[in-house]
Amino acid sequence: MNSHELASSLRAWRDRVSPGEAGLPEGGRRRVLGLRRQEVAQLAGLSVEYLARLEQGRAGHPSAPVLMSLARVLRLSDQERAHLFRLADQAEPLSGQIKRHITPSVQRILDRLTDTPVTVVDASWQCVTSNALANALTGDSSALPPRERNLVWTTFTHVPTRYLRTDDEERLLRLEVVADLREAWVRYPKDTLLRGLITELRTVSPDFAELWEQRVPPQPIPSSRTFVHPEIGPITLDCDFLTVRDSDLRLIVYTAAPGSKAAGQLDLLATIGLQQFG
């Protein structure tokens, strides 16, 4: 591992990202060119102390998830991300692996859609990132264990969430995500995170194991979702999935018709929720 070059690269990449590009306020006096170390640590879900050690060449080998988070926050291109992995002496994301990298263009979309909840998931339904309003809607999952950030896992292991659904919606969701996961498994047989998820689900959930063996075809799921917010109550929003070209990412976008009750609830959520996350 080239600790010195890794440290220098992280500092240089941090200096070139403006607060505005990262979705942060740009006002006030700043003593750094780009993002503060504390800001990068917060956006990447790392401790400031650990990031400081990385930037000073004093940390051990950072894990692949840590590197992916840093690549997302620092707006690294595919080539720069590959260089980051090489510097950290980690295997680069290769063919046969799910592409989970948040490209700069996708990050710009998230930064722009401040009044619309958006969550980004990969081919295994793993939550890669969410914007602030999505966190306010569904609850901030950034500090949760990776398994609890996966929709398939939370669905079949009954992890409490704000996502409310009827028995029929639950049935259709289960059919959809299992069929989706099988398709991902066929396309990415070398993806260790995907294989581990499927193995654990088949062990802990008889319902998942049964559907997995049935090889069920995907079923259309409802185009709306209802969430129960602790202060606003039930809020039902239109739900659309947007695919990212040359990637395995999907943007889950929640919207409401202008003038509707849900639109008013979204406006209230933007006030209440964002204050809590500020």
Domain boundaries, the chain: 3-87, 104-277
Place 4 in a pLDDT band, splitting at 50, 70 and 90.
Answer: confident
Q: Count how many residues are written for the chain.
A: 278
Residue 95, classed as helix, strand or coil, is: coil
Four-residue CA torsion sign, 247, 144, 218, 254: negative
- Is 104-277 a domain of CATH 3.40.470.10? no
**Could you tell me if 147 and 126 are in contact, meaning their C-beta atoms sit under 8 angstroms apart?**
no
Contacts of range 144-151, beta carbons closer than 8 Å, 24 or more positions apart: 146/65, 147/197, 147/200, 150/124, 150/125, 150/126, 150/197, 151/121, 151/125, 151/127, 151/177
Asked whether the predicted pLDDT for residue 278 surpasses 80, the reply is: no
Strands of the sheet containing 250-255, edge to edge, are 127-130, 118-121, 250-255, 233-243, 224-229, 163-164
Q: How many CB atoms lie within 10 A of CB 124?
A: 24
Place 20 in a pLDDT band, splitting at 50, 70 and 90.
Answer: confident
SS3 content of the chain, % helix, strand, coil (to 5): 50, 15, 40
Residue 140 in tokens: 């901030």
pLDDT at position 245 is: 80
Among 5-14, 26-35, 90-99, 213-222, top mean pLDDT goes to 5-14
pLDDT at position 275 is: 59
pLDDT at position 60 is: 78
Say what percent of the chain tops pLDDT 70: 95
Asked whether the predicted pLDDT for residue 277 surpasses 60, the reply is: no
User: Any idea which fold 3-87 has?
Assistant: 434 Repressor (Amino-terminal Domain) (1.10.260)
pLDDT: is 206 or 221 the higher one? Answer: 206
Place 1 in a pLDDT band, splitting at 50, 70 and 90.
Answer: low
Q: Which residues of 160-179 are buried (b: 16+ CB within 10 A; e: fewer)?
A: ebebebeeebeebbbbbbbb
pLDDT at position 223 is: 87
CA 11 from centre of chain? 24
Write the pLDDT tens digit of every residue in 160-185. 899 999 999 999 999 999 999 998 99
Q: Which residues of 53-75 are buried (b: 16+ CB within 10 A; e: fewer)?
A: bbbeeebeebebebbbbbbbbbb
Mean pLDDT of the chain: 88
pLDDT at position 205 is: 97
Which pTM does this prediction carry? 0.70
**Could you tell me if 131 and 113 are in contact, meaning their C-beta atoms sit under 8 angstroms apart?**
yes
pLDDT: is 90 or 208 the higher one? Answer: 208
